[in-house]
Amino acid sequence: MSKLKETPKFNSVAEERAFWETNDSSEYVDWTKAKTATFANLKPSTKTISLRLPEGLLDRIKIEANKRDMPYQSLIKAWLAENVEESRHYK
């Protein structure tokens, strides 16, 4: 591999972002020496969605969430995650 370029010093995150948007990192970083990193404390990105549910169903979900002492949106997310995970194992 040819000699790597020296990574410049940046005065701000915005300046660094602009630099990496227009430069190839392989000219600055030897990716053959890269190691896998785990960031366990990072929260996953979320996206807000709108979901129309029959009122009766939403009422029953709220009752179940109340029994578990948790917000109903959290219960819905937990149920969805469980169902998707189960579905992946059956294919």
Mean pLDDT taken over the chain: 92
Asked if the structure places residue 61 within a domain, the reply is yes
Indicate the pLDDT class of residue 91, thresholds 50, 70 and 90: low
Asked if the structure places residue 44 within a domain, the reply is no
Residue range(s) defining the domain that contains residue 72: 13-36+52-89
Asked if the structure places residue 46 within a domain, the reply is no
Asked if the structure places residue 1 within a domain, the reply is no
Asked if the structure places residue 43 within a domain, the reply is no
Asked if the structure places residue 64 within a domain, the reply is yes
In 3D, which of 56, 5, 52, 54 has the Cα closest to residue 27?
A: 5
Asked if the structure places residue 5 within a domain, the reply is no
pTM of the model: 0.52
| Backbone torsions φ then ψ of 23, nearest 5 degrees | -125, 145
Q: What total of structural domains would you count in the chain?
A: 1
pLDDT digits (tens, 9 = 90+) for 6-60: 999 999 999 999 999 999 999 999 999 999 988 888 888 889 999 999 999 999 9
pLDDT of residue 59: 98
